Amino acid sequence: MLILSCNSPVPINAGGKPGVRKIVLASSSPYRRELLIRIGIEFKTASPQIDESPLPHESPRQLAGRLAQMKAQSVADLHPDTIIIGSDQVAVIGVEKVGKPGNHARAVEQLKRASGKVMEFFTGICVLNTTSGQIQQDVVPFTVQFRRLDEGTIKNYLLQEQPYNCAGSFKSEGLGIALLERMSGNDPTALIGLPLIRLIRMLEQEGVTVI
């Protein structure tokens, strides 16, 4: 699903100049915040409060897209005349959803299950213009193939990087890259949690230029 803005964008700079609509990232994730900082726009964050339970028969791709939009919409009333960015990520091995482990023991079990297998990530992205009510939404896929991992490798990695708040129990932007055989996708930032290539195009539709 992709709903494009019907208005012709008028380029503006998102650097906080008077009269320029503010940008809000509807996320409490430090990883998404760090990614958005990369493209040099000024923004503030808001923590969305939504029910993230999947609907019956909802695919991982559909779930990621729906939750990204719900996150943006959940903070819209508090932020009039803004551009709100919502994002959510769903990871799966086969048909099994992979969440954030939360602790060492669960991370060990996740990586044992992932050893030698493919893990798919579906990262939903939504840009909501609270002035016009227009919504852009998309889902960006990314796939990683894990190496065969022995228990010693898994435990050594987890003790060094402690990725317990990361879906899949690894950080591809850090030492977790050593666990992987290959990566496949159009945008590596989608794997981290915010697909910047797609986001920049969406922001341009709203007249927000990065360069």
Cα torsion 189, 66, 77, 24 to 10°: value is 0
93, containing H or E segment: strand 82-93
- Cα–Cα distance for residue pair 136/69, rounded to 1 Å: 9
Phi then psi for residue 46, to 5 deg, are: -140, 140
88 catalytically annotated? yes
**Active-site annotation holder among 51, 77, 81, 88:** 88
CA distance 100 to 166: 5
In whole angstroms, give the CA distance from residue 188 to residue 101: 22
Collapse the DSSP code of 206 into the 3-class scheme (helix H, G, I; strand E, B; otherwise coil) and give the result. Answer: coil
Report the distance separating Cα 73 and Cα 196, nearest Å: 20
* Token reading at 198: 């797609």
Active-site residue set? 88
